[in-house]
Amino acid sequence: MWNENRKKLEDGKTHIDLLMEKFMVNDEFINKKKVAIIDCDGIISTNEFFYDTNGKSLKSYGCYDHEMISFCKKLNWEFIFVSADANGYKITENRVKDLHCNICNIGWIERSDVVKNYTDNGYLTLFIGDSISDINAMSNATIAATVNNAPDLVKEYCDFVSTKNGGYGGLADILYNVNYKI
């Protein structure tokens, strides 16, 4: 019943220290230009939309992503969230503001161009999406990733597929694994 192999942090160590050690962070990595361009619906949200008589009124978001985004910012990652959901944009914008990140309301052509521009300008670009229309941007990224509940076709264009679903820790898992593998 009890986990006899349970780990504990050493005295004076925090989870930040643990991650820095696990990722073997060095100045070269911290100083490298890095950007994560992230689709919103299905990645930070559970892909559920709730409607009332006035139309789309709510979306469901996970709670695991904020800590990992905050840690990645310590490693000098830039974050850009992208959404093409005009009806739910204000809802998504509020969530992204809570994550202290920027958001753009752009479609698949523009997001593909944004990824290509960053890649062409020497950035390590991570694109995270879950829709078939995200394959274009994935193809322009240095690293492409998705969540477990993305369509199989999308997974074929990714370097990493999380075992977790969007809105249920998938983004945090991707960010952890990408930094660990780099």
Q: What is the pLDDT of residues 59-107, one digit of tens each?
A: 667 777 888 898 899 889 999 999 998 877 787 788 889 888 899 999 9
Does 16 fall in a domain?
A: no
CATH number of the domain bearing residue 48: 3.40.50.1000
First-to-last alpha carbon distance for the chain, in angstroms, is: 36
**Average confidence score pLDDT of the chain:** 88
Does 8 fall in a domain?
A: no
Domain boundaries, position 105: 27-181
Does 21 fall in a domain?
A: no
**pLDDT value at 147 more than 90:** yes
* pTM reported for the whole predicted model: 0.87
Total domains in the chain come to 1
Does 13 fall in a domain?
A: no
Does 5 fall in a domain?
A: no
Does 34 fall in a domain?
A: yes
Does 6 fall in a domain?
A: no
Question: Residue 36 has what pLDDT?
Answer: 97
State the pLDDT confidence band at 19, using cuts at 50, 70 and 90.
Answer: confident
Q: What is the pLDDT of residues 157-166, one digit of tens each?
A: 999 999 999 9
- With vertex at residue 101, the alpha carbon angle to CA 114 and CA 163, rounded to the nearest 5 degrees, is 80
Quick one: which H or E segment has residue 77? strand 77-83
Question: Residue 16 has what pLDDT?
Answer: 79
Top mean pLDDT of 30-44, 47-61, 100-114, 143-157 is at 143-157
Compare 21 and 145 and report the one with higher pLDDT.
145
Instruction: Indicate left, alpha or beta for 76 from its phi (over 0: left) and psi (-120 to 50: alpha).
Output: left
Does 156 fall in a domain?
A: yes
* Residue that has been written with the tokens 């390590």 in this structure: 124
